[in-house]
């Protein structure tokens, strides 16, 4: 038993309880443990506690960790999610190492990932990042640009478009968090008419997970509540 183990149990219980309280099936919400800046020893503790999905923000750091676990725990089926901003000159490392890419915000990146995805790997699962709070500083496409990007991405044979992702402006009030997350779930619901294969909404972090689940998130990305506060972001 250790802190990571206990934190994971606490978070999973919380996800379970929030889901039941809002009439959702807890199994439709996947927990991504965000391990950015955290050492492989803590990731190993999470794996020991049964956690197999991890999110990383920095390409080089993520690739090193993936290589470490491939070497040291080759039989453990870990799923790696890239959740950070991606410069196009680093796209190959994502294409060759990760299972999911959450932050597609332009066709050029999607094209590169498609071209660089090795033939012997499964398709790369991708999400379109939506700038749902309309902040100048944050990345992501505007809601009204999503359809055009979908139509481009679905032409790419080595990517599997799964849905949408958002990192809303930090907001402490539950009702305000909920309002923003609901815009995301309404957007996904409206897209499903023409694109019924879209099944994923990646939203919710340590500070706003309950509102994200109530609004319909299917993937919560939780870092500090599992691994503790980070030294740098």
Smaller CB separation from ligand PLP, 56 or 114: 56
Helix, strand and coil in the chain, % to nearest 5: 45, 15, 35
| Whole-number Å distance between alpha carbons of 24 and 187 | 19
Query: How far apart are CB 155 and ligand PLP at their closest, in Å?
Result: 27
What three-state secondary structure class fits 144?
Answer: helix
| Minimal distance, residue 119 CB to ligand PLP, in Å | 29
Tokens read off for 85: 């901003």
If the CB atoms of residues 73 and 178 are measured against ligand PLP, the closer one turns out to be 178
CB of 115 vs ligand PLP, minimal distance in Å: 25
Distance CA 104, CA 96 (A): 16
Question: What distance in Å separates the CA atoms of residue 204 and residue 172, rounded to the nearest whole number?
Answer: 13
Cβ-count burial 129-148 (b if 16+ within 10 Å, e if not): bbbbbeeeebebbebeebee
Residue 123 or 138 with smaller CB distance to ligand PLP: 138
Shortest CB 56 distance to ligand PLP, Å = 9
Tell me the closest approach of the beta carbon of residue 20 to ligand PLP, in angstroms.
22
Q: Which is nearer to ligand PLP, 53 or 206 (CB)?
A: 206
- SS3 for 23-39 is CCCHHHCEEEEECCCCC
Separation CA 195–CA 33 (nearest Å): 28
Q: Could you count the other beta carbons within 10 Å of the beta carbon of residue 153?
A: 20
When CB distances to ligand PLP are compared, the closest residue is: 223
CB 22 within 8 A of CB 214: yes
Nearer to ligand PLP, 127 or 159 (CB): 127
- Tell me the β-bridge partners of 126: 101, 161
Other CB atoms within 10 A of residue 54 CB: 24
Closer CB to ligand PLP, 158 or 224, in the complex: 224
Instruction: Give the interface with ligand PLP as residue ranges (CB under 6 A).
Output: 34, 36, 57, 83, 167, 205-207, 221-225
Give me the least distance between CB of 189 and ligand PLP, in Å please: 22
CB of 71 vs ligand PLP, minimal distance in Å:
26
> Closest CB to ligand PLP among 201 and 205?
205
């Amino acid at each position: 038993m250790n802190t990571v183990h206990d934190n994971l149990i606490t978070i999973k219980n919380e996800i379970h309880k929030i889901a039941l309280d809002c009439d959702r099936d807890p199994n439709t919400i996947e927990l991504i443990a965000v391990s950015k800046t955290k050492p492989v020893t803590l990731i190993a503790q999470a794996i020991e506690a049964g956690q197999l999905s991890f999110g990383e923000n920095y390409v080089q750091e993520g690739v090193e960790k993936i290589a470490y676990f491939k070497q040291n725990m080759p039989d453990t089926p870990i799923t790696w999610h890239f959740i950070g901003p991606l410069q196009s000159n680093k796209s190959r490392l994502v294409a060759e190492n990760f299972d999911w890419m959450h932050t597609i915000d332009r066709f050029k990146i999607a094209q590169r990932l498609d071209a660089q995805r090795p033939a012997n790997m499964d398709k790369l699962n991708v999400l379109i990042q939506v700038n749902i709070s309309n902040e100048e500083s944050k990345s992501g496409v505007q809601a009204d640009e999503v359809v055009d990007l979908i139509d481009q991405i679905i032409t790419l044979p080595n990517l599997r478009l799964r849905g949408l992702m958002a990192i809303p402006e930090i907001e402490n009030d539950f009702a305000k968090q909920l309002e923003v997350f609901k815009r995301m779930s309404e957007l996904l619901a409206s897209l499903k008419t023409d694109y019924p294969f879209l099944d994923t909404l990646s939203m919710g972090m340590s500070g706003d997970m309950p509102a994200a689940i109530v609004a319909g998130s299917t993937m919560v990305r939780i870092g500090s509540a599992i691994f503790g506060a980070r030294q740098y972001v």
